[in-house]
Amino acid sequence: MKLTRLIEGLDIINISGDPSDEVSGVCFTAEKCESGALFVAIPGLKSDGHDFIHEAISRGAKFVVYEKDLEFPVQVTAIKVSSSRRALGILAKNYFGNPSANLTLIAVMGTNGKTTITYLIEAILKEAGFKCGVLGTINYRYNDKTFSAPNTTPESYEMQKIMREMADDGVTHVVAEVSSHAVDLKRVDDCDFDLGVFTNLTRDHLDYHLTMENYFQAKKRFFAEILPRSRKGHPQKMVINADDQWGQRILQEVSLPALTYGIQNNCAIKAGLSELSIKGIKTQISVSGESVSIASPLIGKFNLYNIMAAVGAAFILRVPLPVIKRGIENLSYVPGRLEPVASSEGFNIFVDYAHTDDALKRVLQSLTELKKKRIITVFGCGGNRDRGKRPLMGEAATTYSDLTIITSDNPRLEDPLAIIEEIETGIDKIKIKKTKSDRLKFDGTVPFYTVIPERRKAIETAITVAEKEDIILIAGKGHEDYQIMGTEKLPFDDRVVVRQILNSRS
pLDDT digits (tens, 9 = 90+) for 465-481: 999 999 999 999 999 99
Contact 416, 476 (CB under 8 A): no
From CA 358, how far away is CA 112, in angstroms rounded?
9
Parallel, antiparallel, or unpaired for β 433-434 and 448-451?
A: parallel
pLDDT at 233 over 90: no
* Residue 323 to residue 318: CA distance in whole angstroms: 10
Query: Given this model, what pLDDT does residue 382 score?
Result: 97
Q: What is the mean pLDDT of residues 46-70?
A: 96
User: What CA–CA distance (Å, rounded) separates 311 from 332?
Assistant: 17
Instruction: Specify the long-range contacts of residues 67-70, CB closer than 8 Å, at least 24 apart.
Output: 67/41, 67/43, 68/41
**H or E segment and range at residue 461:** helix 455-465
Taking a C-beta distance cutoff of 8 angstroms, is the pair 136, 152 a contact?
A: yes
Exposed / middle / buried, residue 212 (Cβ in 10 Å: 0-12, 13-18, 19+): middle
DSSP 8-class letter at 427: S
Q: Is the pLDDT of residue 441 over 80?
A: no
The whole-number pLDDT of residue 20 equals: 84
Mean pLDDT for the stretch of residues 409-415:
98
Mean pLDDT of 114-120: 98
Higher-confidence position of 288 and 200: 200
Query: Helices 321-330 and 114-127: crossing angle, nearest 10°?
Result: 120
Higher pLDDT, 17 or 9: 9
What is the per-residue pLDDT for 305? Answer: 97
User: In the chain, what are the domains?
Assistant: 3-95 (3.40.1390.10), 99-330 (3.40.1190.10), 339-505 (3.90.190.20)
Compare 443 and 340 and report the one with higher pLDDT.
Answer: 340
| Residue type, position 287, single letter | V
How do residues 385-407 score in pLDDT, each as one tens digit? 999 999 999 999 999 999 999 99
Q: What is the mean pLDDT of the chain?
A: 95
| pLDDT value at residue 235 | 66
Are the C-beta atoms of 420 and 437 separated by less than 8 Å?
Answer: no
Indicate the SS3 state at residue 448. Answer: strand
Query: Helix, strand, or coil here: 328?
Result: helix
Lowest-pLDDT range, 231-240, 247-256, 360-369, 424-433?
Answer: 231-240
Q: Which residues contact 132 (CB under 8 A, 6 or more apart)?
A: 121, 122, 125, 126, 142, 171, 172, 173, 174, 175
- Contact call for residues 119 and 334 (beta carbons, < 8 A): yes
Instruction: Give me the count of residues in the chain.
Output: 506
Q: Using CA atoms, how far apart are residues 217 and 16, in angstroms rounded to an integer?
A: 37
Sign of torsion, CA 310 315 316 318? positive
Cα distances from 441 to residues 46, 207, 403, 448, 456, in angstroms, run 47, 38, 10, 9, 20
pLDDT recorded at residue 99:
97
Evaluate if residue 27 carries a pLDDT over 90.
Answer: yes
In 82-189, alpha helices (H): 84-95, 114-127, 156-168, 180-184
Q: Is 415 exposed, middle or buried (0-12, 13-18, 19+ CB in 10 A)?
A: exposed
Tell me if 345 sits within 8 A of 312, measured CB to CB. no
Give the 3-state secondary structure of residue 195. strand
pLDDT of residue 203: 84
Mean pLDDT (whole number) for 319-343: 97
Note the pLDDT of residue 200.
96
Asked if 222 and 240 count as a contact pair (C-beta separation under 8 A), the reply is no
Q: What residues have CB less than 8 Å from 410, skipping those under 6 apart?
A: 382, 383, 477, 480, 482, 483, 484, 485
Q: Is the pLDDT of residue 265 over 70?
A: yes
- pLDDT exceeds cutoff 70 at 220: yes
**Where residue 272 falls among pLDDT bands split at 50, 70, 90?**
confident
E strand or H helix that includes residue 14: strand 12-16
Q: Is 59 exposed, middle or buried (0-12, 13-18, 19+ CB in 10 A)?
A: middle
Residue 394's pLDDT is: 98
State mean pLDDT over 4-19: 93
HSE of 435, CA atoms in CB hemisphere, 13 A: 18
pLDDT per position as a tens digit, 190-214:
999 999 999 999 988 888 889 999 9
